[in-house]
Structure 1
Amino acid sequence: MAETSKNEGEKENLQLRRATYKGIAMFECEIDDIEKMDTRDDDIWVCSFPRSGTTLVQELTYLVQTLDFETARSVQLDARFPQLEQKDDRFPYYKGVKYVEEMKSPRMIKCHLHHFMLPVQLQKGKGRIIYIVRNPKDIATSFYRLLQWGGFVLENDIAFEVFVDEFVNGTGLFCPWPRHVLEFWERRIDKNVLFLKYEDVVKDKPKTARQIAEFLGRTLTEDDVAKICDYCSVDNMKNNPMCNMSYWRDIKKVYDGDGGFINQGKAGAWKSLLTPEMAKKIEKLLDEIKGSGLNLDDE
């Protein structure tokens, strides 16, 4: 999508540049450097298909690992927990591989890449992966709302229909969804992988905090768990400028309305947003993971 001009006194609608690597549509990044980069045994990678509950799991993971609420309240999540495959010098935190390489251990890294595109060392077990999966019906509505908010799609019903079609046929950003999910699902028994379902996470955040703590070898008190889960409530996160991406307003034009970076923070929101025809189309993606043993609730 071409970059749009700005009116006097108005922020420019910056567009993240798109590219295709190894057949996957995504945003421009240093894919060759990512594949070859050195990982560390104590790395913590939160991986997901976009809009699967990644931000929630990042913040839960950061606090389980550090219990550093002061830093969480004062430093952007994109700085504490950078997204590796975002490289764009026009944005303050999309610094790519070099920034991650210079981070102190244990590094915490966000990544939307398919498993086969991750650093080779990580694929082979050097580093820890927390993967979050979500019902694709909720992903479709949440992803489109994010793209609307960021000004990356046309704001009309036809554009949403096109987005759903691309999501289902595997040509949309980071698609195909079934391949992304199943690559990680097949590695769920690996000792360096923790596989989470969004629907379970939002239903019982204390249980999730304890799962992450066990996976990372951390010890939490009940008070720690309570504080972490309170901090990570959807209302707090929606109003928290350190994780709600509000800093984008200082950089580019955003389109506030129905969408936003953090929406309802619950499972099943698709029921009031998808037409029956759209929901039926997305069901095809769930059909593609049948037989794998991975079952996703509709709410």
Structure 2
Amino acid sequence: MATKEDKPRLFLKRKVYKGVTMMENEVEEIEKMETRPDDIWVCSFPRSGTTMTQEMVYLIQALDFKTAKSEQLMSRFPILDVKDDRYPYYKGLKYVQEMKSPRFIKTHLHHFLLPEQLRNGKGRIIYIARNPKDLVVSFYRLMHWGDQLTEEETTFDKFIDTFVNGKGYACPWPRHVLEYWERRNDKNVLFLRYENVIKDKPATIREIAEFLGRKLTDQDVERITEHCRVENMRDNPMVNLAYFRDIKTLNDDADGRFINAGQSGTWQNKLTPEQSAKVDKLIKEIEGSGLTF
């Protein structure tokens, strides 16, 4: 194995498009892309339980545990809105366009930036939302570990500031969750809360299966639940981004990895009262919507 010093940083460039900070991508083409009726899109703000939801969705639809254990999730269920040829799985739009149906697609795009056809009902959307206090803790740990912090985000305090002021990656958070929440009753949208998912995964698996029109046996539900236990996912090189170590610099001395505790409420041991009060400003922006955490 090469040493940390031997590996490139591979920092993902960012851009701002229609007021939203995102990684380099082909968003202009994504907005106009052709979708398919049987597309399955998992959408989220980063660190909201996306990977867990992707793996559950893939297994609910395909029941292919062999492939799930042997092929990278990022190959089976690619992220569309990151394009960087230095990485093996950030292949962008062309890769998705050539996938066989049903396509599994991940994105952190705001709803208003999704393909117009998808927004109009051609394809299915599963959105997962998470308490922003747990989210921001997990988000910083990932970006620190993955060596993706900008000069404005070099400390946790600074990272929280960019999250709260809407300048960070995928921000602003309130707009992101509210856009999907307001469409929760659309026939092609399923809105999930992270806290409910981890509290009762079997119930969530059945809810997703019903949404996708899949019939699962109790044994199917049990196998998917076991496969998606956080302890198993943390040790699973097909979902835990272990391949990063082969290609880029990582900060393994950081407090966290790609998959961490998989719990809710851990922010209480991480945020200072001042930091918590800052995130409260975001929660206040969604008051009156009916969406609570």
TM-score, length of structure 1 as denominator length: 0.95
8 Å contact from structure 2 (residues 4, 250) kept in 1: no
Are positions 1:125 and 2:121 aligned together? yes
What is the CA deviation profile of residues 122-170 of structure 1, one whole-angstrom value per residue up to 9, with x for unaligned ones?
0111000000000000110000000010112279x96111110111111
Q: How many angstroms apart in 2 are the aligned matches of 1:228 and 1:7?
A: 37
Structure 1 unaligned blocks of 5 or more: 1-5
Q: How many angstroms apart in 2 are the aligned matches of 1:87 and 1:56?
A: 22
> Residue 209 of structure 1 aligns to which amino acid in structure 2?
I
Are positions 1:259 and 2:290 aligned together? no
Identity %: 62
Indicate the SS of the match to 1:246: coil
Are positions 1:280 and 2:277 aligned together? yes
8 Å contact from structure 2 (residues 45, 173) kept in 1: yes
8 Å contact from structure 2 (residues 26, 83) kept in 1: yes
RMSD: 1.7
Q: How many angstroms apart in 2 are the aligned matches of 1:274 and 1:251?
A: 32
Are positions 1:200 and 2:196 aligned together? yes
User: How many residue pairs get matched?
Assistant: 291
> Residue 290 of structure 1 aligns to which amino acid in structure 2?
E
Aligned counterpart, 2:245: 249
Q: How many angstroms apart in 2 are the aligned matches of 1:154 and 1:95?
A: 23
Question: Which residue, out of 60, 64, 71, partners 1:64?
Answer: 60
8 Å contact from structure 1 (residues 13, 151) kept in 2: yes
Structure 2 unaligned blocks of 5 or more: none
Counterparts of 1:70-81 in structure 2 under 5 Å?
A: 70-81=66-77
TM-score, length of structure 2 as denominator length: 0.96
Q: How many angstroms apart in 1 are the aligned matches of 2:177 and 2:149?
A: 25
Distance change in 2, residues 1:165/1:223 (3 Å)? same
Question: Which residue, out of 287, 290, 293, partners 1:290?
Answer: 287
Q: How many angstroms apart in 2 are the aligned matches of 1:113 and 1:8?
A: 32
Q: How many angstroms apart in 2 are the aligned matches of 1:227 and 1:113?
A: 31
What is the CA deviation profile of residues 213-232 of structure 1, one whole-angstrom value per residue up to 9, with x for unaligned ones?
00000000111000000000
What is the CA deviation profile of residues 60-106 of structure 1, one whole-angstrom value per residue up to 9, with x for unaligned ones?
00000011000000000000000000100000010000000000000
Aligned counterpart, 2:130: 134
Runs of 4+ in 1 over 3 A off after TM superposition: 6-9
8 Å contact from structure 2 (residues 146, 249) kept in 1: yes
Q: How many angstroms apart in 2 are the aligned matches of 1:163 and 1:170?
A: 11
